[in-house]
Structure 1
Amino acid sequence: MRRRRSRWLAVAALTSAVSVALAGCAGTDGAGSGKIDIKVATFGEFGYEQLFKEYEAQHPNIHLVSQVADFEAHHKGLATQLAGGKGAADVVAVEEQYIPQFLQSRDKFVNLADFGAKDLQNQWAPWKWEQGVSKDGSFVLGLGTDMGSLAMCYRRDLFARAGLPTERTEVAKLWPTWEDFARVADRFSAAVPDAKFADSAGTIYTAIFNQSEENFFSKADDSLIADRNPNLRRAFDIAASIGAKGQTARVTSYTQGWNVAVKQGSFAVMNCPAWMLEQIREAGGDGNKGKWDLTTVPGNSGNQGGSYLTVPKQGAHPKEAYEVAKWLTAPEQQKKIFLQSGILPSTPAAYQDPEVIGKTDPYFSDAPVGQIYASSADSLRPNYRGAKDSVVRPKFGQALGRVEDGKQSADQAWDEAVQQARDAVR
C-alpha cells in the first residue's frame, strides 16, 4: 500500500479543495467554460500532476480535477459514497487489497469491458490484469496503475560497522531465504548494539507472506484460512522472532517516528517497493545520500502495493472518465511516471523499456533501481486478497506490535490475532 508524503498530501488536498470549490461556484462542467469536469480521486502521490496538463492540452474539452486523501480515508470514503449513491469521483484509484471488496459491489461500478477494456488486456502483466477483473473475466473493475515489486534497502555504513559485505551482489548472497535473513539480523545485532537491524517486524512479515499465493483467505472460495495457512504462520514466526529479540526500531512506515529513524540511521534494512525510495530520500535528507543502497529481497520477489483506476457509475461522463483512466495507465504514461517519480509500471512494455531498466539513483549509491525492480517484477507472483482482507490484515500487524513491545509471546499474539480475524469475518 502507499501512504505517501504527508506534506505533499496537505498541499494536494488544499489544491483539490480549491479546484472543486471554484468549479462548484462557476458551474457543473469545466467551471462554466463548457468543458467536461472529470474528477480523479487518488490516495498519496500517483505522479499525475504533469500528465493532467498533457491530457488537457490534447483534449481541450476536458478539465481534470484532482482529489487527494490519505489511504484509509480514501477507501472508507469510497465505500460510503457507493452506499449512499453520491459523492464519488469520476475516476477513483483503488489499492489492490480493496479490489476483492469492491468487486462484490460491481453493480456500482462501470464495467470497463463495455468500453473495450478487454482489448487492452495484454498491455499488463497477466497477474495484474487478473486482479482487476471478476473470476470469470466478464467484468473489468479497473485498469492497473503501478505495482510494488520489492527490493531491500540497506545502509552500507551500518553493514560495514557490522563486518558484513556492503556490495549489493554480496549482500544478496547473505539471505537467499528469510530464515537466512533472520540469522543476518543476529550477526548484525551482536556487532552493532547501538542500531537496530530492521524498521519493524510488520514490514518483514508483510514481505514474507506476500510471496505466497494465499495468506488470509482461500483463493478457491474466499474462506478464512489464516489459522491453518503454514506460509502465513512461517512469516509471522520469523518476523516475531526478530521483533522479540529487540532487533527492530519499532517504527511504523511514514510516521514521524519513522522519518526520524531514517534520518538518524537508527536501523539498517527495510523492504522497499519502488515508490518508497522518494519517502526515504525525503526523510533522510542530503546528509544520508550515498549511505543507502539496494539489493534483492530473500526469494527475489514479492508485491507490496499497487492500484487500479475504476469508474463508479455515479459519474455523468463514464466514457470520458474511462478514456482518462485508459490514457493514464497506458505504457507511455507509466514510463513517464517512473522516470519522474520512481513509481514502478505494471505494464511490461514500460518496465522493460531500456530507459526504465537503465535508471540509476545517486541517492542510493547509484544503485541500478530500474534493473532491480524490473527483475523483481518479472518474477513476481501475487497472492490472493480476500474480500475482507483490509479488515483481517491489521489484526496480525497489531499482534506483531505487541510482540515487539514485549506484551505477548509470539504464540499468544498469534492466537489472539486468529481469534480477532474469526470474529471479524463472522
Structure 2
Amino acid sequence: MRTIVRRIALAVAALIPLAACSPGDAGEKTKLTIATFGEFGYAPLIAEYEKLHPDIAVQNRVTDFDTHHKGLATQLAAGRGAADVVAIEEQYMPQYRKVRDKFADLAGYGARELERQWVPWKWAQGTDGAFVLGLGTDMGSLALCYRRDLFQAAGLPVDRDEVAKLIPDWNAYAATAERFTAKTPGVKFADSAGTVYTAMLNQSPENYFSQRDDSFIADRNPSVRSAFFLSGGLAAKGQTAAATTFTQAWNVAIKQGSFATVACPAWMLSQIKEAGGDANRGKWDVTTVPGSSGNQGGSFLTVPKQGEHQKEAYELARWLTAPEQQKKLFLSDGILPSEPAVYEDPQVVAHTDAYFGDAPIGRIFASSAERLRPNYRGLRDADVRPEFGRALGRIEDRTETVDQAWTKAVQLALAALK
C-alpha cells in the first residue's frame, strides 16, 4: 500500500538508466525486470544480487498502487509488457488466482520445498491447490501509532503500556476519542474514518463475502456493520481529520499534527517519518492496536508466464523473499516479513525506532504478527470494498448521515456485483 506521492518520481527515475546505458554496458547479461507498487526497499538488495550473479542485470519498475495493478491486468490480457517478476498486493490475489494460466507455476521450480518458510495463512494466500502463484513478501500486522504530545495536552496517559490499557478495544477507542475531543477540540483523534474502519474490518474472519461459498454477506455480517457504524460515528462527530492515508492531505496533516492516532502496520512507520520530518521526531509513539491483530497489506512476488526468463525470475523472487533478505528489509525499512524465523529473530525483536521515542517496534510488531489471523476477502472484494470507503467519505464531508451512507453503500455494492 505504499502509495506516497514521491513514488511516482522514483518510477520515472527507474526508467532513466535504460536510456542512458549503451548496448555494451550489460554485455551478455540476462536482463530481468521486477515491478513493484511503491518502494519495497529493494534497491540495495538488487545491487547485492547483481554482485552475487554477475551474469544478471535487474531493473526495478516502481509505480503507484492503482497504476501497477491496472497495468498488470492489461499486460496479462495483451500477453506482453509484464515484468519478469511482478508484485501483487494480497487483496488482489484471489482475482489473479482465477487467471493462473497467465502465470508460471512456481511449484515447478521447487517452491513447495519452501512452504514452511511462511506462516501457513500467508503461504495459502499465494497458492491455488497444488499451484504456487507467488512467494510472500511482507505482511501488515497492526499497531497503534499515537502522538504523545497531543495525548498529554488532552490529559490522557502517554506511556505506551498505559495507552494500551486505556484502549484495549474499539469501543474504548471511541470513548477515548470523546475525552480527547472535549479537551482538544482543535485537533482530530483519528486521521480518517476509513483507516479505523479498515483496521476493524481486518480483524474479522470474514468481510464482505462468506468463506463458505463466496456469497455477499456485508449487509448481514455484524463485523462489517459494527466497523462501519463505529468509524462512521467518529466521522459524524467531527473526530476524524478526513485525511485519506498517503494522500497529500494526509502528509500535511501528519506534518501539522492535525490528528492524534492512526492504526499502523509496520510499513507505515517510514511514511509517517517522511511526512512528519525532523520537526516531529519523538512526538510519535507506538503501542498495541485495539482489539485483536489484523492484517493490512502484504504482497507476493509472481512470475508471469509471458516472460522469457522464468527460471531466472523465480530465482530472483526466491532470493528476495528468503529470510536473510527479509530481515535486512525490516532492520533498514521497517517492512515486517511474513516469516516466523525472521520476526522471531532476537535482533528483530530487540529493534527499536528512535523517531518513535525508541519504541520497541520489533517486539510490538512481532507480538502482533503472532496474534494475527487472516480474514477472507472474496473473489470480488475489490469491486465492493471501495463503495464502503466512499460512503465513509460522504459522512466526513457531511453530505450523508451514517444510516444513509450505510444503506447507499450496500445498494451500490450489490449493484457492482450484477
TM-score range, shorter chain: over 0.9
* Residues 19-418 of structure 1 mapped to structure 2, 5 A cutoff: 19-21=17-19, 26=23, 33-134=27-128, 137-418=129-410
RMSD: 1.2
C-alpha contact 1:189 1:247 (8 A) present in aligned 2: yes
Segments of structure 2 that go 5 or more residues without pairing to the other structure are none
AA aligned opposite 1:333: Q
C-alpha contact 2:8 2:64 (8 A) present in aligned 1: no
AA aligned opposite 1:116: G
Output the TM-score relative to the length of structure 2: 0.98
Match for residue 12 of structure 1 among 10, 13, 28: 10
C-alpha contact 1:2 1:305 (8 A) present in aligned 2: no
Count of aligned pairs? 418
Cα distance change of structure 1 residues 291 and 320 upon mapping to structure 2, 3 Å threshold: same
SS in 2 for 1:322: helix
AA aligned opposite 1:389: D
CA positional deviation for 1:15: 2.9
C-alpha contact 2:137 2:326 (8 A) present in aligned 1: yes
CA distance in structure 2 between the aligned counterparts of 1:254 and 1:373, rounded to whole angstroms: 21
SS in 1 for 2:289: coil
SS in 2 for 1:87: coil
Structure 1 consecutive aligned stretches of length 4 or more whose deviation exceeds 3 Å? 19-23
| Identity fraction in percent | 63
C-alpha contact 2:205 2:375 (8 A) present in aligned 1: yes
Aligned twin of 1:3: 3
CA distance in structure 2 between the aligned counterparts of 1:226 and 1:312, rounded to whole angstroms: 33
C-alpha contact 2:174 2:234 (8 A) present in aligned 1: yes
Q: Alpha-carbon deviations, 1:188-212, whole Å to 9, x = none? A: 1011111111100000000001001
AA aligned opposite 1:83: A
CA positional deviation for 1:2: 2.6
AA aligned opposite 1:10: I
CA distance in structure 1 between the aligned counterparts of 2:211 and 2:127, rounded to whole angstroms: 14
SS in 1 for 2:88: strand
CA positional deviation for 1:14: 2.3
CA distance in structure 2 between the aligned counterparts of 1:20 and 1:385, rounded to whole angstroms: 38
AA aligned opposite 1:19: P
CA distance in structure 1 between the aligned counterparts of 2:31 and 2:118, rounded to whole angstroms: 28
C-alpha contact 1:294 1:364 (8 A) present in aligned 2: yes
C-alpha contact 2:326 2:337 (8 A) present in aligned 1: yes
SS in 1 for 2:172: helix
C-alpha contact 1:148 1:273 (8 A) present in aligned 2: yes
CA positional deviation for 1:262: 0.8
CA positional deviation for 1:10: 3.5
